[in-house]
Structure 1
Amino acid sequence: MSRALLRASGIDVRFGGVHALRDVTVSVGPGEICGLIGPNGAGKTTLFDVLSGMRRPDAGAIAYDGTDITRRSPVWRARHGIRRTFQRQQLFGQLTVEDNLVVAQDWRGGLRPAARRHRERAAAVLHECGLDALAGSYAGGLPVGQAHLVELARALADPPRVLLLDEPASGTTAEERRALAVVVRHVADEENCAVLLVEHDVAFVMELCSRVVVLDLGRVLAEGTPAEVHADPAVRQAYLGAGPGSTEGEPPDR
């Protein structure tokens, strides 16, 4: 892997007496799709909050392209190419799908020539994501699976350098998951974007990602290729369901 584009080093986060993250180090490089998995309460979303600037860590640092951005705001990070989706969709429900993508670009200026370019870019991304037919639909009326795809499209509207995807396959159909995988691979391969993916669908992660990091109780439990992680006894016991009374490969719901 080339030099890490986004790197969290020695991250600690506490919520009162709860130690949510303990000395966590995670990185993702340009063109890489890295999976982040773990049981409920492992600290995955908390780590995403730290990476995206929504929460400042109690200890540790975040580096972006070699520069410390630990104290940078979420807005600064988003405008410099670090984009995030959410487990619970954060679409603008009263806007159309197309307008959700246009709004994501408006910070660059909305005068007439720019507005036209924003519309053209929105149309191109919707086509890439297979969402052309939904362009005029109001985002608030979409089912969960389509809403996840629209949120991904919005994150791509202004081309990202780092993409943080929080359970993008949740609530999607098999066809929607296939479309999602195609888009994520394209963004990583063709646009050299670094992708960090949190997902409970282990099969989806193992197929899509070249490297997987496992969190458990706020610590990094394991890291390696999908095959290495799947074969790790500690991971199988903590997460992949190898223990008594559980079904292998079917982690608990979040």
Structure 2
Amino acid sequence: MFDEDGRLDPFLKTLLYGVFALGIGKMLWTWLTGTAVAWIVDSPWAWLTDHPWWAALICAGALVMLVAVTRAVLVVLGFAGGYAAPLPPAPLAPGPDLAEEGVTFRMRELAAMSPTEFEEACAQLLVRDGFTGVQRVGGAGDLGVDVRAVDGDGDLVILQCKRYRARVTSGHVQQFNGTARPHHGADVAIMIGLAGFTEPAATFARQHHITVLGRDEIKKWAHGTHLYRAVNVLT
């Protein structure tokens, strides 16, 4: 019934809107054929009274249009809700003010981001969790590092963020394993896969002490749980 962000399933929402529209249409039809019919005598209204189903469809369509126009006006005026504001550019400067803001993201927000925006969102979540020295370094020639930070114990944390539509494969984890610790000196190596990981990829990660975050762990982290509590970090 509800999606992973706690919102009503789109199909059920559409169905409820349809039922509501038909109810409004029936009320209008009752009014048109009752009190109003006595003084509404023009030919268009007479036609509507002779075609009740067409009248109901027209009323439902008018209601949908009214809702759409109202939402559009609210967006223009700045009253409608939406996704998070544009993310700040990397590197992120850690500080108590940003860490106290309680930054969170919905899964559908993360899915709609570009790879760079996804990396910046992960960096923001690290700052929220109290990590220091948070910096997004992803890009050409990053050698497997998208975000780097230092945790409360002084350990260097290296993140690779995969906003793929398909699950992360074992080959990607092997490449990350070849650079995270040998090249970058990571104490904690973490891979984040928005679409999850294949079983061979997860098995390889466990064997080489690489922490992986799939959808379930990312959801907990993005919704407010500290990174180390969202998943069992292997060090």
TM-score band w.r.t. shorter chain: 0.3 to 0.5
Structure showing greater Rg: 2
The TM-score, its normalising length taken from structure 2, stands at: 0.32
The TM-score, its normalising length taken from structure 1, stands at: 0.30
Give the structure with the higher percent strand.
1
